[in-house]
Amino acid sequence: MEAYEAGRAGDVAVEAYEAGSAGGGGVEAYGAAVDGHGAWGRVGAEGRRFLRGRVRTLGTLALWSLLESAHTFLGGYAVARALDDGFLAARPGTGLGWLAVAGAGALLGGAALRGVFAGLADLVEPLRDGLVRRAVRQALEGAAADPARAARSGAVSRLTQQTEMARDSFAGLVLVARSFVFTAAGALAGMAALAPVLLLFVLPPLLLGTAGFLVTLRPMARVQRRALDNDEALAARAGELAAGLRDVIACGGGARAGSHLESLVAEQERLTGLLARWAAVRTVALGVAGRLPVVVLLLAAPWLLGRGLSAGALTAALTYLVQSLLPALDALMGALGAAGTRLLVVLDRFCPPRPTARWPERTPRTDPAPPSPGTAGVREPRPGALAGVPVPAAELRRVRFAYGPHAQPVVDGLDLALREGEHLAVVGPSGIGKSTLAALLAGILPPDRGTVLLAGAPAGHRPGRGPDPRRTLLPQQAYVFTGSVRENLGHLSPEPVPDERLEGALSALGVDGLVDRLGGPDAPVDPSRLSQGERQQLALAAAYLSPAPLLLLDEATCHLDAQAEERAERALARRPGTLVVVAHRISSAARADRVLVLDGTRAVLGTHADLPARSPLYRDLVGGWDGQG
């Protein structure tokens, strides 16, 4: 039963998610916000503000990086001089001297790198500290607004994993971006000093490939963000199904359960394909920027040497490209493509909430009207045997519930008292909150505000204590598992059901004919071979045999014909305890002691006879009923 209840809770959540998606909310709206200039604009503005406050630190990094430019400059220039003025001119001492200069330049680069790391800490640690403070502030604000949801939020992840991820990604980006800028400056300055004509062959492909790579950043980040959002939604849905996988398989509901995942999987496949295509474009850009200059220079070597370019200058240009520019460019593109996108995604989660990103909203409501006589906010004494019961079988006190912190409430300020032995029908349009009300009464959904009581005690799950024996909830999709008929009929009863009582239940509900066709109480049951109506008949018989004093039917007879539904409801109403029926037909309301009408603005409680005069919605529902179904 716990597995079933967990599955039902997941279904309620998924219904809210799907309703939000249909209305443009949820993950789609969030992705749309990022698809615009949302993430880039928010993170860019925050980043500029952060860097403007650390000009001195940036200046220190730049000064140390100039030494790295000098190291790069000497690395190629000394090679050219060693060849042209030394070894090729038959002066090996001069050549060795210039190589010693190149070695000194390497030592200079090592000292520069040490200074860069010291300055980097002054830039990176304040970022991490600021993100930690923001994560704590967001957690406190969320706890003040909604303590229950704050406990389930990502505050802990932001405070630990995501802040460290942002710190490491930012440090890596600063290192490689700084290295590329100053390495490129030193290399290009060296080529200009040796022979300016070299820049004509190196700069065009270098700039073209770099520009092509930069063009891919924004669309690839958008696709990657949508892929992350979709992956989170897919993982959440898969987790919900995994919790009730055994029951899904037992009920033969694999195809239906998996259908919810198909659109998410298809979207993930599409986004993965887009990422692969953008990665291909990025690889081409990297090849143009990093490899094409070498190819062009080698192809132009005979022409350049024939017009006076020295062998040392050509060798130095190739040294600049192969040993300095290409490694720096590879590191930059790799970091921007991986750490850069990751940093954008993480930092965007620390930015203020996106106004266009909404949680799924249900049916619009207006502010609840004050309770009037006969509404659900009034506890009228019941005539006859139902009057004067001191402890209600179930009670809602000023209950409010919404699917998400920004969603319109589905139930708002609802008061309702159900007396022992009462038969209540709940009616209203699809999506108005009838199933939500049943889940609240069963304790599967905790209210945002207010109290839900069963037999005077709080409703809700009881960790480690098994299913709540005070109530039984039957959903629209009947729970039937692989096993014997007897096992399916008695799984809600803590003790074995005697044959006499089992036969009496089957006869009262009219299910004895179905059990005979299956082969008797000890015959095996294959859920996949049963129709929806047959499954509901077995589930109703199991509920009849349950000792729970509160029975909740959430359209649990929708696959039965009108005659079978009437027989089942009358039998369940005669059963000891309280019956709540989320009505599929208005005839169910006509059989109930009282009817609760949910119309999106207020809940109206009364009898089938007096409600048409007080509820326009109920009057319309009764007006469309032919008295037979």
Rounded-to-integer distance, Cα 453 and Cα 417, Å? 9
Task: Quote the pLDDT of residue 592.
Answer: 92
- Max mean pLDDT range (252-256, 342-346, 355-359, 556-560): 556-560
- CA dihedral for 89, 92, 96, 97, sign (positive or negative): negative
* 318 contact partners, CB below 8 Å, separation of at least 6: 294, 297, 298
224 and 320 housed in the same domain: yes
344 and 425 housed in the same domain: no
Q: Tell me which H or E stretch contains 286.
A: helix 254-290
Q: How confident is the model at residue 10 (pLDDT cuts 50, 70, 90)?
A: very low
426 and 335 housed in the same domain: no
Contact 58, 66 (CB under 8 A): no
CATH number at residue 607: 3.40.50.300
474 and 616 housed in the same domain: yes
CATH number at residue 37: 1.20.1560.10
Which three-class secondary structure state does DSSP give residue 188?
helix
Q: Tell me which H or E stretch contains 299.
A: helix 292-306
Q: Decide which of 350, 377, 403 is a domain's last residue.
A: 350
Task: Indicate whether 497 belongs to any domain.
Answer: yes
188 and 337 housed in the same domain: yes
465 and 328 housed in the same domain: no
Task: Indicate whether 242 belongs to any domain.
Answer: yes
* Residue range 211-249, pLDDT digits in tens: 888 888 778 777 877 876 777 677 767 766 665 665 556
> Is residue 417 exposed (0-12), middle (13-18) or buried (19+ Cβ within 10 Å)?
buried
Task: Indicate whether 395 belongs to any domain.
Answer: no
178 and 300 housed in the same domain: yes
Task: Quote the pLDDT of residue 578.
Answer: 93
Task: Indicate whether 15 belongs to any domain.
Answer: no
Q: Over pLDDT 70: what percentage of the chain?
A: 71
Task: Indicate whether 255 belongs to any domain.
Answer: yes
Number of domains, the chain: 2
345 and 425 housed in the same domain: no
Alpha carbon distance, N-terminus to C-terminus of the chain:
31
Contact 441, 470 (CB under 8 A): no
Token pair of 459, please? 């409703």
* Residue range 466-498, pLDDT digits in tens: 567 888 999 888 888 888 999 999 988 888 889
Rounded-to-integer distance, Cα 127 and Cα 170, Å? 9
- Which DSSP letter does residue 195 get? -
* Residue range 345-355, pLDDT digits in tens: 556 655 554 44
154 and 250 housed in the same domain: yes
pLDDT above 50 (res 86):
yes
Q: Compute the CA torsion angle 274, 275, 281, 284 (nearest 10 deg).
A: -140
340 and 426 housed in the same domain: no
Q: Decide which of 300, 334, 350 is a domain's last residue.
A: 350
Contact 527, 484 (CB under 8 A): no
Contact 108, 70 (CB under 8 A): yes
Task: Indicate whether 383 belongs to any domain.
Answer: no
Task: Indicate whether 154 belongs to any domain.
Answer: yes
Please state whether beta strands 483-484 and 449-454 pair in parallel, antiparallel, or not at all (unpaired).
unpaired
Sequence-distant contacts of 109-117: CB under 8 A, at least 24 apart: 109/67, 109/68, 109/71, 109/72, 111/67, 112/64, 112/65, 112/66, 112/67, 112/68, 112/71, 113/68, 115/60, 115/64, 115/67, 116/61, 116/64, 116/65, 116/68, 116/175, 116/178
Please state whether beta strands 411-418 and 483-484 pair in parallel, antiparallel, or not at all (unpaired).
unpaired
Residue 233 belongs to domain spanning: 26-350
* Residue range 148-198, pLDDT digits in tens: 444 444 444 444 556 666 667 777 777 778 888 888 888 889 899 999 999
Q: Decide which of 350, 366, 392 is a domain's last residue.
A: 350
Task: Indicate whether 266 belongs to any domain.
Answer: yes
62 and 182 housed in the same domain: yes
322 and 467 housed in the same domain: no
